């Protein structure tokens, strides 16, 4: 079973459903494998629901919890698991996948794989959608255009609006389709007042859609911050003369100029500021205020 949540966090109901399904015996192969993506999105209450099932799984059941790193998973869960570090694919391998799966040109595939830092999903999005490449270009170019607090605040507002617009665009068509399918499944009248049972089902659907929209918006903001980090990573690489290939090669000249006007210590501080902002937007703080504080610190 492959589980991916669409909520900002794995809910208790989702965890209970996973525990129940983990009890089923394998029907085809020898093992029943429970793959849980974004295990770092598990709260303490949710982990308590799954704790026993993970610590003492049923016979022939294996749990695979996926997270960026073991430290991102709650210690109660982490202490009962065996860490398995997966190798990041090379840019060449990701490019070959894009060429074979999506018929992308070799040159474009290599560029997208490098910009995505070998993340297959992001590389695919950059290769197939020009608007995604345009937004990324706008994000990584922000430090080149900030000369004061006013410009920093405007840049923060621009980033936030980009994320809101993207999440709204991704959710709008899907929300309408889900609502229409639910009304048909429940036999709702074409006009007039909705029965209480149907209104309740629609309210639950709308609540789920709002949570999903927040998840999309948070993930979009986080992706923007990762893209922004690549700019300062390239600057630091130039300042330390590491000789490594720049991620944003198309900004090579600007990156060298920026590196010459600042120190490696300042660049490291800016990377830390972005990292702290990534942590903040996963909480209940205002994303726009967090971005404004970050941009002012980057000036």
At the topology level, CATH places domain 2-78 in Rossmann fold (3.40.50)
pLDDT for 284 equals 74
pTM above 0.85, yes or no: no
Domain boundaries, the chain: 2-78, 91-128, 145-298
Q: What is the pLDDT along the chain (299 residues), one digit of tens a residue?
A: 899 887 778 888 899 999 999 988 887 788 999 999 988 888 888 888 888 889 888 888 999 999 888 888 888 888 888 999 888 889 999 999 999 999 999 999 999 999 999 999 899 989 998 888 888 898 899 888 887 888 888 888 888 888 777 777 666 767 777 888 888 888 877 777 778 888 888 888 888 778 777 778 888 888 899 999 999 999 999 999 998 889 999 999 999 999 999 999 999 999 999 999 988 887 778 888 888 899 888 88
If residue 57 lies in a helix (H) or strand (E), which one and from where to where? none
pLDDT for 30 equals 87
Question: Across-strand partners of 62?
Answer: 33
CA atoms of 127 and 106, how far apart (whole Å): 11
Contact 77, 40 (CB under 8 A): no
Residue-by-residue DSSP string for 90-127: PHHHHHHHHHHHH---HHHHHHHHHHTTT-HHHHHHHH
Q: Which residues of 68-103 are buried (b: 16+ CB within 10 A; e: fewer)?
A: eebeebbeebbebbeeeeeeebebeebbbbbbeeee
């Amino acid at each position: 079973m492959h589980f991916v949540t669409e909520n900002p966090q794995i809910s208790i109901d989702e965890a209970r459903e996973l525990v129940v399904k983990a009890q089923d015996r394998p029907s085809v192969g020898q093992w029943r494998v429970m793959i849980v993506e974004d295990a770092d999105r598990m709260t303490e209450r949710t982990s308590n629901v799954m704790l026993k099932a993970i610590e003492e799984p049923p016979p022939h059941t294996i749990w695979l919890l996926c997270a960026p790193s073991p430290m991102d998973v709650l210690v109660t869960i982490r202490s009962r698991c065996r860490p398995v570090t997966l190798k990041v694919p090379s840019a060449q391998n990701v490019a070959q996948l894009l060429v074979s799966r999506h018929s992308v040109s070799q040159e474009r595939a290599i560029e997208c794989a490098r910009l995505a830092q070998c993340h297959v999903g992001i590389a695919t999005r950059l290769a197939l959608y020009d608007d995604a490449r345009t937004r990324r270009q706008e994000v990584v170019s922000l430090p080149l255009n900030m000369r004061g607090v006013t410009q920093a605040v405007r840049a923060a507002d621009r980033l936030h609006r980009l994320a809101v617009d993207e999440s709204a665009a991704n959710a709008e068509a899907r929300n309408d389709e889900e609502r229409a399918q639910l009304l048909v499944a429940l036999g709702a009248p074409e006009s007039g007042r909705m029965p209480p049972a149907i209104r309740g089902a629609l309210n639950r659907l709308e609540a789920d859609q709002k949570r999903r929209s927040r998840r999309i918006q948070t993930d979009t903001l986080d992706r923007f911050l990762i893209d922004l980090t690549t700019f300062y990573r390239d600057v630091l690489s130039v300042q330390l003369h590491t000789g490594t290939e720049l991620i944003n090669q198309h900004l090579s000249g600007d990156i060298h100029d920026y590196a010459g006007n600042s120190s490696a210590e300042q660049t490291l501080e800016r990377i830390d500021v972005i990292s702290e902002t990534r942590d903040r937007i996963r909480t209940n703080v205002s994303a726009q205020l967090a971005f404004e504080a970050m941009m002012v610190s980057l000036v």
